[in-house]
């Protein structure tokens, strides 16, 4: 499955297990750093196998996990069930359609390790805009645009191809073209940054 699915974002396949956990030992710390707060209704967009989704479920009032790959959603569903989390819905579909998929407007949309592969980024930003409550937030966590050889984890170069990586400026430009406004830009060591956008209250 995965990359064979129609509409799959280029270079966004879920990594082989092992090094992801080594790279992200503190997913809660990432979520707090980008401004996720208790009680929020959250969408985890391109949620993969649920490494972040489980931690979102522990913070949020409710989380909707959306991923094109139903097999990965099954892994995430199992992960959350094992942990006793019951405040999550899982939707296997294309992220571009999130405004139609989400059951209700969200306080926060979280998108990690996928924006680099989105062909039409302003289109995705517009879809996020439509899925957010007024003053809602959209956080993107991206690999820095460093050469892949330099971003090693457990002794191997990791992450998307160098040519796919986006600078903060490229990310901000694409999302603001979709109607959201940058609120915060942070470092997410060792190799990522977080760009947080807000929906204007109109
Ligand atoms: C690199 S993984 C990251 C998963 C998760 N966000 C994380 O950081 O642990 C990117 C995910 O994007 C999903 N994906 C790719 N194209 C998609 C699309 N068009 N709509 C929704 N999900 C998509 C893939 O199936 C994969 O699970």
Residue 137: C-alpha distances to residues 9, 27, 108, 144 (Å): 22, 18, 5, 21
Average pLDDT over residues 120-132: 97
Per-residue pLDDT at 201 exceeds 90: no
Average pLDDT over residues 99-108: 93
The verdict on the CB of residue 127 being under 6 Å from ligand 1 is no
Residue 1: band (very low, low, confident or very high) from pLDDT cuts 50, 70, 90: low
- Residue 111 vs residue 2, higher pLDDT: 111
Q: Cα separation of 185 and 134, whole Å?
A: 20
Residue 95: C-alpha distances to residues 42, 45, 114 (Å): 14, 7, 10
The verdict on the CB of residue 48 being under 6 Å from ligand 1 is yes
Give distance in angstroms: CA of 46 to centre of ligand 1.
4
Give distance in angstroms: CA of 124 to centre of ligand 1.
13
Instruction: Point out which residues pair with 106 in neighbouring strands.
Output: 132
Give distance in angstroms: CA of 142 to centre of ligand 1.
12
Which mutation among 11, 23, 68, 93 tests ligand 1's pocket best, with the greatest number of atoms within 8 A of CB? 68
Residue 200: band (very low, low, confident or very high) from pLDDT cuts 50, 70, 90: confident
């Amino acid at each position: 499955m995965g990359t064979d699915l129609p509409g799959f974002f280029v270079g966004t396949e879920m990594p082989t297990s092992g090094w992801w956990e080594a790279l992200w030992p503190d997913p809660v710390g990432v979520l707090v750093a980008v401004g996720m707060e208790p009680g929020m209704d959250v969408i985890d967009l391109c949620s993969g196998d649920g490494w972040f989704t489980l931690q979102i479920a522990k913070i949020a009032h409710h989380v909707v996990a959306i991923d094109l790959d139903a097999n990965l959603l099954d892994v995430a569903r199992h992960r959350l069930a094992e942990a006793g989390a019951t405040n999550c819905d899982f939707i296997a579909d294309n992220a571009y359609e999130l405004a139609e998929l989400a059951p209700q407007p969200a306080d926060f949309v979280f998108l990690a390790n996928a924006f680099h592969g989105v062909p039409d980024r302003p289109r995705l930003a517009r879809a996020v805009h439509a899925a957010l409550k007024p003053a809602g937030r959209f956080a993107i966590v991206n690999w820095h645009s460093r050469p892949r050889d330099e971003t090693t984890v457990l002794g191997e170069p990791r992450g998307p191809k160098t040519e796919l990586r986006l600078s903060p400026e490229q990310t901000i430009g694409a999302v603001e073209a979709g109607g959201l406004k940058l609120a915060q830009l942070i470092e997410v060591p060792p190799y990522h940054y977080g760009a947080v956008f807000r929906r204007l209250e109109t």
